[in-house]
Chain A
C-alpha cells in the first residue's frame, strides 16, 4: 500500500514557469524525501526534509512540510525542459523503508 498521495497526477507548464506539486501522507514520519525519475530510469534523490523542519531549499527547489496537516509541497522555480520527469514523494517512518506516492508527471514545454 502507498503512504503518500501526490497531487496533481500530471502537470504541464511553459519553460520559465514555476511548478508546484503536493504530497499527503497518513502516518507520523521521520522524514520525507522527494525524488525525480526520467523515463523509467532510476530515481534521483532531490531533497530530504526531517519531521522537525518546515522548509528546505536546494537550488531551484523549495520543499515545505506541515506535519499537522501531514502534507508536503515541492516547488520548482524557473522550470527548464530538463525538469520534465516524474516526481515522487516518499516517507520514512521508523520501518526502514520508503513509502512512495503515485507520483506527479511534469511536462515542461519549450
Chain B
C-alpha cells in the first residue's frame, strides 16, 4: 500500500510569489490535513478536508488556502509569500480524521528568499 505522497519535496521561492503544494493520501483515506513545522512554532495545524469539505481551519492568514478533489488528493496554496513562510509543510491522511491514526508524507521543504 503506497504511503502519503507530497510533491514537490523541496521548493525555493521569492518573497511575493505564490506556491502550490500537492498531497496524495493513502488509498481509501478521505481525510487530509496540513501542518506547518518551524523551529520556532513547532507543528501548527493549517486545515483539514474530508470529502472535499473543509471541516477545520487553523489560525493562519487568508494567504493560506487549500482544497480537496473528488479523488481525495489535496493541494494547499500560499500566496504573497513572506520570509516567515519558510517551513516544512506536512500532509497527513486518515480514514475519518478524528478516530484513526494519521499517516504523514515526507513533507515539502519551502524556502522563501
Q: Which residues of the partner chain A approach B58 to less than 8 Å between Cβ atoms?
A: 97
Q: Which residues of the partner chain B approach A94 to less than 8 Å between Cβ atoms?
A: 98
Q: Which residues of the partner chain B approach A40 to less than 8 Å between Cβ atoms?
A: 37, 88, 107, 109
Assuming the contacts A43-B90, A102-B42, asked whether A96 and B33 have C-beta atoms less than 8 A apart, the reply is yes
Tell me which of B14-22, B43-51, B67-75, B77-85 binds A: B43-51
A51 to nearest B CB, angstroms?
Answer: 11
- Check if B33 sits within 8 Å of A97, measured CB to CB: yes
Q: Which residues of the partner chain B approach A60 to less than 8 Å between Cβ atoms?
A: none
Complex CA gap A33/B90 in Å reads: 16
Complex CA gap A97/B109 in Å reads: 21
Interface residues of A (CB under 8 A from B): 1-2, 30-31, 33, 35, 40-45, 48, 88, 90, 92, 94-103
Interface residues of B (CB under 8 A from A): 4, 6, 31, 33, 35, 37, 42-43, 45, 48, 50, 55-56, 58-59, 88, 90, 92, 97-107, 109
Can you offer 14 A-B residue contacts whose CB atoms are under 8 A? Answer: A2-B42, A30-B99, A33-B101, A33-B102, A35-B104, A40-B37, A40-B107, A42-B4, A42-B105, A43-B104, A45-B102, A48-B101, A94-B98, A97-B48
